[in-house]
Amino acid sequence: MNWKLSVKFKYLLAHIVIFLISGALAGPIISEFMADNDSVLADEDGDFSDWIEILNPDASAISLAGYHLTDDVGDLTKWTFPAVNLNAGATLLVFASNKDRALPAGELHTNFKLSAGGEYLALVNPDGTTIESGFSPSYPPQFPDQSFGFGTPGSTSQVNITPTWSSPANFNNVKLNGVQSATLGSSFDSIDADLAGSQLLYYMWFDFSSQLGAITVGDVIDSATMTWSGVAAPSIFGSSGVTSELGVFPVPDANYGIDTVATTYNDNTLVNYYAANTPIDSFTAVPGQTPTATWNIKSFVEDWRDNPGDPQRGQLMIINSAHPMFMDWDNSGGAPTLNAVVNVSSDPNAPAPLVYFDTPTPNGANTGGQAAGPVFGTVTENPPQPTGGDLSVTAQISGSADPVSTVVVYYRLAFGGETQLAMADDGVAPDAAAGDGVYTANIPASALQNGEMTRWRFVATDTSGAQTKEPAFRDPVDSHQYFGTVQADPAITTNLNVLDWFIQNPSGANNITGTTGAVYYKGEFYDNVHFNRHGQSTGGFIKKSYNIDFNKTQRFLWSDEAPRVADIDLLTNWADKSKVRHPLAWEIMRESGVNAHFAFTIRVEQNGQFFSTADFVEDGDDIYLERAGLNPDGAMYKVYSNRLNKDQGNTGYSGVEKKNRKSENNDDLQALIDGLDLTGAALENYMRDNIDIPKTINMLAANSVIRNIDMHSKNWYIYRDTGKTDEWAILPWDLDLSQGRVWNSQNTYFDNNVYTNGLVVTGNSIRLVSHLFNNSETRAMIHRRIRTLADEFLEPESTPLVDRWYERRLDEQAALIDDPLMAKSDAQRDFEKWGSWLQGNGSSVPYTTNNAAVESMAEAIVRWKNEYLPGRRNEIYNNQTVGNGGEIPDEQIGQASVTLTPLVQAGDTGYGFVPTDNSLGTTWQGAPANEPFSTAGWFSGPTGFGYDRGSGYESLIGTDVEAAMASSTTIYIRVPFNVTDPANFDSLELRMQWDDGFVAYLNGDFLAAANNPASVNYLSASDGNGPEANAGSFNIYDVTSKLGSLQAGQNILAIHGLNQSTGSSDFIIRPELYGEAT
């Protein structure tokens, strides 16, 4: 019998609402859900949305009409099912996508998404109060492409009993050094190593006992497998030795097996033990191979299950049968991976267990799964930075299927081994209150040191032996294993933000493969972070640049005013002795209106010691695009060998790295290259239709002002506003060779001269740029913009010193990095640590070297002021202006006066009407023949007209229309306004905040539209789900071509507002109209 037909629910221990096997029938239930859908199941739009499976366990069909789904205990009717029937034993899938679709014949979508971190979830009866099925107060944390729900009683589940790697309590590398004598190490992982007569005898000892609570006496062990793998060391599996069996053995005594194994001590001690004892299983290690070692440990696990009192329960050894051989994993590539998985069959008469499904079963029978343990709530994650004494850590925990039995915190200082500490909820200090579900323990002061990291993790076990870890650490590559902090170091005096970087093998980050470690920044700790060398030419610098990649479970917060990021670049300033070129170049780009990266200087501490000053620079991805005010769904390519020149063999598929939209091909870029290959009028038309000319011109002008020499076949982005304007623009990347610095074949990066001439026309080897410079109209635009930006940032020599932008910013950066009031500034520490370089030679020389090229930051700043700025000002204003051999125009005398007159502003009174038939036709749109128009029966109020069942549009809504649009996707809006004389205006601009679509009219004439069907009527809906309106900005439409529709006296701005569906979670129409006079 399908177990789903006989499931009912009950509250258990006031924790999670669960469902138990019963002969009674029940109402619909949530049988399975997925809260982190990366690639399992796409919805009708192709998006991998969260989903919820509803099961009808009854013997007859039921109607779901009026039932509700909610993720908010305070709003039990948050989303309502339409009239859909569910047959006996059948399931129905609802996507938790926040798209809010509730059409009976269509795919169902809730008006909320699920949180992977865990939250309330319930299926509510049509009475709006009775919980039919749910998880309260929260379901457990969820993981990518795993679902959660009710497993089949008696089915096989998978239990991972892997202990924590590199912890003395769980793992030791036993090195024999005499009869019944050995040393133990938790940072090595070698077997034998008895090469060239060295008599180095190692074997492995593991202890799985801490993980055996998940296996109970009644469980049937179907299989148990242990694997061991890692990054290959230079010599692996006996590359200079012999083939050997690696056997797994029970541990024969309480001294890690040493007393029994090493009854003698010679070259054959391990080999003799292997010959005299039969391993449980063995693996053949062949010289030169690097496979994953695998052993069948089923009999071990069965013995551990049946003999809980065995003193060596959970322990095993790995010993070699022949020598000399050598087995080792390269720890610099990250910790080796030990994995022990047991497949267990449960009692078929037991209640349906709550389980995680590695293989989700949407609309299918639930099979397999891993048992769910206790549920973690709030835990100590990023405490206030400690300054000394014990560190109190807490974890809020509740049972799921069974009550909590034990809670343990494991902590470690730096890269030392773990120490286990029991946590209590007994009201005895340090615990605050007994029985409140908050467990407490104090990590002792001895486990914290100034400037050093202390990490911890929690493990909770319930009475059935099921365990939950927090952090969950489900993905060894892309999740965090520990929480952590860094005790403050009072010896650090700095004006900069400090990045504390912890890495066990620092040299491991100096290659493209990289290694892992941890960082602490602005009060947050990030574990299992990957570091590798950044850059091509700069890869050979003694002071390197690094890519820092954060795992999916801990994105990096570089600013409280910006979104978290997945990656960030830590760039060297080794070649720039002034240490300011990078941040100042990016600042000028941003201040010029270029959608450019952030960049700023920080102090880096590595393993508790000063490491460097370096520049944080944003990584190029969709998060950057959105933060910079661009379309996050736009296509962006990082160019490293491409000039967009078809004649040179460039294609859209070579010399570029696509940074987003990676599921698509590069046909859009190829189409750009093809378009740029046109000539004559066809090229001009293509450029006007497909290139964001103002954005690109602005970037090129700023590039000239900073004298960036390094934009040619590489070091720039090509970006397309995909799905909106579809126009292309060039964006900057890599600005270190700017403001007087060069790269040349003779000196490479290490030319100590300062260059000021030329570089007004920059980047013209790129075909798009050359087209702009070769067109007289756009060339003149670029030079006019160069003049404007030069006057703002570079400024002529006649500008008073106190008013000069560059001099001010140089002084401010110097005070920040090279503060003269400090005993030793960050710049001086960096100078002393890394030294300097001489002309044409990138090798480091000590900072004390008596050579004019060895410059402190202060000396390099003086050269800016005395050499670069006077020379560049002379070049721009005396050599490159009109009449002096150049094309930069003279200073504009007088300023163009532009007056914007608001004709319609947000908040003005508008009139709204939700039609139920087509009787109005187009008469409401303001055509003079239909005016005056009666608005009797219309409602009025301030614009914008909209609603939001969640949050985000509260500040935009002037008139709430949720009730009015409950059964309609269309609303008609009229906003009257007066104009004295239309001839006063030279242009007209419509500004809109909208979601999901609109069609606008001015006095009956079409004005603008977005996300609308080809023809509209009173039944129309938007053409798909529109973008979320931005509360801080408008979409702007140039409607100057409609100036002739303006009339003296009263005018009507009419808008046909379009929602995607009646179940949509939000809607907004908020217009403004401006007339412009020059």
Q: Which domains does the chain have, with CATH numbers?
A: 3-148 (2.60.40), 160-345 (no CATH), 373-486 (2.60.40.2440), 498-572+596-622 (no CATH), 629-794 (no CATH), 801-863 (no CATH), 899-1077 (2.60.120.260)
Span 607-664, pLDDT tens digits: 999 999 999 999 999 999 999 999 999 999 999 999 999 999 999 999 999 999 998 9
pLDDT above 70: percentage of residues in the chain? 91
The whole-number pLDDT of residue 843 equals: 93
Average pLDDT of the residues in 250-261: 95
- What tens digit of pLDDT does each residue of 947-961 get? 987 767 888 899 999
pLDDT digits (tens, 9 = 90+) for 158-204: 778 887 665 556 888 899 999 999 998 876 677 887 655 566 788 99
Share the mean pLDDT of the chain.
Answer: 89
Question: Which range has the worst mean pLDDT, 747-761, 838-852, 920-934, 1031-1045?
Answer: 1031-1045
- Asked if 184 and 202 count as a contact pair (C-beta separation under 8 A), the reply is no
The residues with which 1035 forms a beta bridge, in sequence order, are 992
pLDDT tens digit sequence for 208-248: 888 887 777 667 888 888 888 765 544 444 445 788 899 99
For range 375-399, the mean pLDDT: 95
pLDDT(714) > 50: yes
- Chain-centroid distance, C-alpha 172: 36
Cα–Cα distance list, 502 to 36, 134, 447, 847 (Å)? 30, 42, 16, 26
pLDDT in tens, 853-874: 999 999 999 999 999 999 999 9
Q: How far apart are the first and last CA of the chain?
A: 80
Q: What is the mean pLDDT of residues 721-728?
A: 92
DSSP β-ladder status, 483-486 and 498-502: unpaired
Q: Which residues of 793-815 are buried (b: 16+ CB within 10 A; e: fewer)?
A: bbbeeeeeeeebbbbebbeebbe
Assigned token pair, 665? 């091909």
Is the pLDDT reported for residue 893 higher than 80?
no
Q: How confident is the model at residue 257 (pLDDT cuts 50, 70, 90)?
A: very high
**Is residue 810 a contact partner of residue 794, using CB atoms and an 8 Å limit?**
no
**Using 50, 70 and 90 to split pLDDT, how confident is the model at 151?**
confident
User: Looking at residues 519-540, what average pLDDT do you find?
Assistant: 94
pLDDT at 732 > cutoff 80? yes
**Is the distance from CB of 264 to CB of 272 less than 8 angstroms?**
yes
Q: Which two tokens stand for residue 608?
A: 């508790």
The better pLDDT of the pair 831, 197 is held by: 831
Confidence of residue 1028 (pLDDT cuts 50, 70, 90): low
Residue 847 near residue 835 (C-beta atoms within 8 A): yes
Residues 6+ positions from 1007 with CB-CB distance below 8 Å: 990, 1000, 1001, 1037, 1039, 1042, 1045, 1053
Closest CA to 1064 of 103, 58, 91: 103
Whether the predicted pLDDT of 4 surpasses 70: no
- Mean pLDDT, residues 435-444: 97
pLDDT-derived band of residue 14, with 50, 70 and 90 as boundaries? Answer: very low
- Please tell me the predicted confidence (pLDDT) of residue 187: 66
Closest CA to 581 of 869, 185, 775: 869
From the list 578, 524, 533, 515, the residue with the least C-alpha distance to 555 is 524
The dihedral region occupied by 927, where left means phi > 0, alpha psi between -120 and 50, and beta the remainder, is beta
Task: Give the per-residue pLDDT at 77.
Answer: 96
Q: Is the pLDDT of residue 13 over 60?
A: no
Rounded CA separation 408/395 (Å): 10
- At 10, the pLDDT band (50, 70, 90 cuts) reads very low
pLDDT at position 1 over 50: no
Rg of the chain on CA atoms, in Å? 34
Peptide bond into 430 cis (omega under 30): yes
Q: Are strands 567-571 and 609-618 parallel, antiparallel or unpaired?
A: antiparallel
Q: What is the distance, to the nearest Å, from the Cα of residue 55 to the centroid of all Cα atoms in its chain? A: 34
Give buried/exposed letters for 637-675 (b at 16+ CB in 10 A, else e). bbbeebbbbbeeebebeebbebbbbeeeebebbeebbeb
638 near 711, Cβ under 8 Å? no
Using an 8 Å Cβ cutoff, are 169 and 154 in contact?
no
DSSP labels for 405-443?
EEEEEEEEETTS--EEEE-B-BS-TT--SBTSSEEEEEE
pLDDT at position 703 over 80: yes
pLDDT band (50, 70, 90) for residue 155 = low
Q: Six-digit token pair at 857?
A: 């930051």
Q: Is the pLDDT of residue 332 over 60?
A: no
pLDDT, position 164: 67
